[in-house]
Amino acid sequence: MTAGFSGDRFHPRAVRAWLYAVAALIFAMVLVGGATRLTESGLSITEWKPVMGALPPLSAGEWQAAFEKYQAIPQYRALNLGMSLDQFKTIYWWEWTHRLLGRLIGVAFLLPFLWFLWRGRVAPAWRAPLWFIFALGALQGAVGWWMVASGLADRVEVSQYRLATHLVLACLIYVAIIWTAQRMDEHAADEFPGGGRIRASAISLLVLVLVQLYLGALVAGLRAGYIYNTWPLIDGAFVPDAARLFFNTPLWRNFFENTLTVQFDHRMLAYVIWIGALLHLVDVARAAKRGPAITGALVLFAFVTLQAALGIFTLLLRVPLPLALAHQATAMLVLTVATVHAAGFAARHTRHSGARPQAASPESTTPASVNMDSGLAVSRRPGMTG
């Protein structure tokens, strides 16, 4: 007999707990990645060894060899000339920890996933999305090395294009994991109010937060936070002169390479997100007086406000390390809340429109489904008694 689509066989709670644990590791990795960038540690390991690189130097000779490889790249000669071996070890450990977390995330995702598949704990509808997330994780490792490689030859830092790609891909994986875990909770969707405008605004805020993270990575890659350290004016005006915003040719380069334009775009989008979060909160409050929807909208607005304040102070104080890390951590919190919030509205729409794919249904199964652990029938065709 064929097992039915029931909680006795499939274990969404266990799978969701696993996904949230992986998401927590990604959160930690993004923060360590931010510290690695801010401490100029990202180029300290000049080789990519996915397996053997998991081991750090274990002898004085190995440490010296790693240091000599770092001394051969432009960053050492331009920024760290005369650095001692002990100072090199400090930046090396940051980058090594960042890479180790990447390996740990891969193992923490793949091994439990294979176990859940072997035990039949993952519903068929979720297997392809989870395999796709794993593929994105593998791609992220290659993108990370692609980013590092950009700073080993002709530059003293990595390409801002590649840095932004690396960060946003990590955030997309993070969003996909949380989104999937949230969508597995079918009952939570009923607590969100309907309405296409509210759902659209929640999803739009999530997309805008991802775009803002991309712009923030460009600011970081260009070191644009160390200049134009005034607020609310930038370069002496609220909106700088167009001749300074768009002097590069072709025009599109200004949005990625002009430090003034990149920082200005980052500021303007922050205002748009803050206003959008406020209007969304008002909209949700009109539709739901209590419940997770209004709580999520309120928390999202609070975190967006906190993030904006941290951004302002980080800029005014010329990017001190503690504030910069707090700014990045709060950005991830904003992304987390925006994802959970949007997923709730999306799940409600999908469920009530009848569009959610079903792995199986009582009508498509045999009269009794089987508990895989005990071999006993645990459910009957609707209407049967006894």
Q: Smallest Cα–Cα separation from 340: which of 203, 178, 177, 174?
A: 178
Structure confidence by residue, pLDDT tens digits, 140-195: 999 999 999 999 988 889 999 999 999 999 999 999 999 999 888 766 655 666 66
Q: Using one digit for the tens of pLDDT, what is the confidence trace for 284-294?
A: 998 877 788 89
Record the pTM: 0.86
Q: pLDDT confidence of 348, banded at 50, 70, 90?
A: low
Residue 189: its pLDDT value, please? 57
- Which long-range contacts link 103-109 to residues 24+ away (Cβ below 8 Å)? 103/50, 103/54, 104/25, 105/22, 105/25, 105/26, 105/29, 105/137, 106/137, 106/138, 106/141, 108/21, 108/22, 108/25, 109/22, 109/133, 109/134, 109/137
* Residue 330 and residue 34 in contact, taking contact as beta carbons nearer than 8 Å: no
Burial level of 155, CB count in 10 A (0-12/13-18/19+)? middle
pLDDT digits (tens, 9 = 90+) for 98-149: 999 999 999 999 999 999 999 888 889 899 999 999 999 999 999 999 999 9
Give 2's DSSP letter: P
Q: Which residue has 């000049």 as its token pair? A: 46
Cα angle vertex 317, ends 253, 233, to 5°? 55
CA distance 198 to 295: 14
Whether the Cβ atoms of residue 213 and residue 171 lie closer than 8 Å to each other: yes
Among 48-62, 109-123, 135-149, 316-330, name the one with the lowest average pLDDT. Answer: 48-62
**How crowded is residue 353: how many other Cβ atoms within 10 Å of its Cβ?**
8
b/e sequence 120-136, b meaning 16+ C-beta within 10 Å:
ebbbebbeeebeebeeb
Tell me whether residue 271 is exposed, middle or buried, using C-beta atoms within 10 angstroms of its C-beta: 0 to 12, 13 to 18, 19 or more: exposed
> How much of the chain is helix, strand and coil, in % rounded to 5?
70, 0, 30
